[in-house]
Chains A and B, each alone.
Chain A
């Protein structure tokens, strides 16, 4: 990766380089480095159906292919969720443990739009964002009276309360234990209740069904057949994520974003500088709540079904993991973290005993059994163990997440041709010191 997604850690080298760039007008109002990052995200998301299917569909490695529509949609949807969470946590340092509540509320709002108005996904997404905004305004207004661990506990309490309510007394709105589903007798006043063939209509964008998939196959003689699914729903979600990512870059680089970083750095100084920090944190909270609602709306647009478990604390914890794993406070980090966790959840978890036995069958029987026994706890249902180990290693050795890992690698490669300048190393030293 050539673009450096680092943010909020100014160094001497960046100052002089951006000074030269500032004169040129950037792409969509972004500086060179940010524009590069945005372009990278655009290219990666657009090419994902190909990039995520590196193994022939017929080979035994095909189970590592992550390029099927359902999973690709999850990559970008949870990417949006994490990008939004990062605006709150990465910039202000307020660690919310209740963001899944906004995702859940957005999901329910989306399904209700499908039930009441029609199957256009834009309706669902609009409603999801609006409901999440109101809900997060309420929760944020109360929770932001406290900071630190008390704030986290308050958000957790709100989310668990929402989950419990959605599971029990709010059953008429949320579907309770069975979840909220579409039915043939839903009104759908802007569309049709039942299709001509007697089915429930599918979510669509002005008639373009989200489920539509074009499967392109590609054959290389002697190697196998590659299958690349191009799914409408995925490209819709990807386009939304690109917009969401662009908006987050703009927020990061704005005076508002700078104030949010100041909240994290020294709230006392900020208050004595004439700035009221609460409206800033509340705005950040609502913005990240709207991102969560958007993610919830997209989830139900891909699969019009919402259950209360979407609001549970484990779902809130997951987005925290994604953000920290990728690199809190960096632009691209949350997207990477979301991708990694969803990959583990969907791919690693599918490696069962039979698959392992297949891999190790080349070894003699006894050895093969031993290897299967050793590896088995880490894969299949044990994928959480591997994820936990990865998370620990990242937090201990790469506090800046995967992004920091990328930067360190980049620095190793660049060191040789930068020796003459001698700017990078001292800057890195000061940064390292400051981080301690």
Chain B
């Protein structure tokens, strides 16, 4: 029984069957990648996991509880954090404040009318936020505007914001989309480091084979809204069905 169990999920947008009968099981403390060509339904599936979309049929269970029908903030409070394709951060706030907000959300829940005490007196939250910045090598950027960060640093900050909540499942939506090779490699190193340091389950949706084969312990291949195969990376590389549906060319070249 995995920490995330997706059973018979399907989703239709008008005439388009975006997802048809998807089954997926993500085991705890693994890195699970979901790959597939454009339009395979990867993002639709992810949006069904975080409460942005509600599937037409099927169930999504996280740690034995259903996530369907819950709002994004409720799903986050259950222990699922999400990293977006383009980093979503609080651009108008300082880097430190960006990290303090998830700390407050983790401590106080979805809403707290904490309007009288000064932020600077919240020493516990402050230390927690400073510790994660230290961890992510971002201490020097602490007081600058988050919007002024480079794209790579924004990604790093977004990860810090997710990790400071100590999520049990981290969902990453194409974390290296649109990145230069060097940045991609940095992101891979960052994710490896996170994996080694923490007990965390990661589910990565990715396009870039290099990233997938560097990180994933298990891979699910989606094509036209249905899972083709699910296996370990080595097996996926040579799988004829995958080559046909997704790569369309010899595995050596594509990888």
Residues of A within 8 A of B (CB): 8-12, 14-16, 18, 22, 29-31, 250-251, 253-259, 261-262, 264-266, 268-276, 279-280, 283, 287, 427, 430-431, 433-434
Contacts and interface: CB of A to CB of B under 8 A. Distances in A.
Contact of A279 (B111, B118, B145): B111
Contact of A283 (B104, B113, B122): B113
16 contacts: A15-B94, A29-B118, A253-B119, A254-B116, A254-B119, A256-B112, A258-B100, A266-B91, A272-B81, A273-B76, A274-B77, A274-B106, A275-B73, A279-B110, A430-B144, A434-B145
Interface stretch (B61-69, B82-90, B188-196): B82-90
Given A10-B94, A272-B72, A254 B114 contact: yes
Nearest to A263: B90
Given A273-B105, A275-B110, A262 B118 contact: no
Most buried by B among A255, A259, A279, A287: A255
Contact of A272 (B76, B93, B97, B125): B76
B143 interface: yes
A10 B143 contact: yes
Contacts of A29: 118
B161 A273 contact: yes
B97 A258 contact: yes
B94 to A, nearest CB: 4
A347 B71 CA distance: 53
B93 A265 contact: yes
Contacts of B127: none
B197 interface: no
Interface string B95-129: 01100111011101111111111111010010000
A275 B143 contact: no
Contact of B89 (A15, A256, A261, A266): A266
Contact of B113 (A12, A256, A269, A275): A256
B148 interface: yes
Nearest to A26: B118
B90 A280 contact: no
Nearest to A29: B118
A18 to B, nearest CB: 7
A228 B112 CA distance: 47
A257 B115 contact: yes
Interface string B145-180: 101100000000000010001000000000000000
Nearest to B83: A272
B117 A10 contact: no
B118 A253 contact: yes
Contact of A274 (B97, B116, B119, B165): B165
A253 B122 CA distance: 11
Contacts of B109: 274
B97 A254 contact: no
A71 B194 CA distance: 62
Contacts of A8: 92-93
A272 B88 contact: yes
B144 A251 contact: no
Interface string B196-219: 000000000000000000000000
A12 B143 CA distance: 5
A269 B86 CA distance: 11
Contacts of B148: 430-431, 433-434
B90 A269 contact: yes
Contact of B115 (A254, A274, A275, A433): A254
Nearest to A253: B118
B50 to A, nearest CB: 7
Contacts of B90: 261-262, 265-266, 269-270
A259 B97 CA distance: 10
Nearest to A268: B88
Contacts of A433: 147-148
Given A256-B115, A430-B144, A431-B145, 11 more contacts: A10-B94, A254-B118, A255-B117, A261-B90, A262-B93, A269-B161, A272-B72, A276-B71, A276-B73, A287-B115, A430-B145
Nearest to A435: B147
Contact of A271 (B73, B108, B119): B73
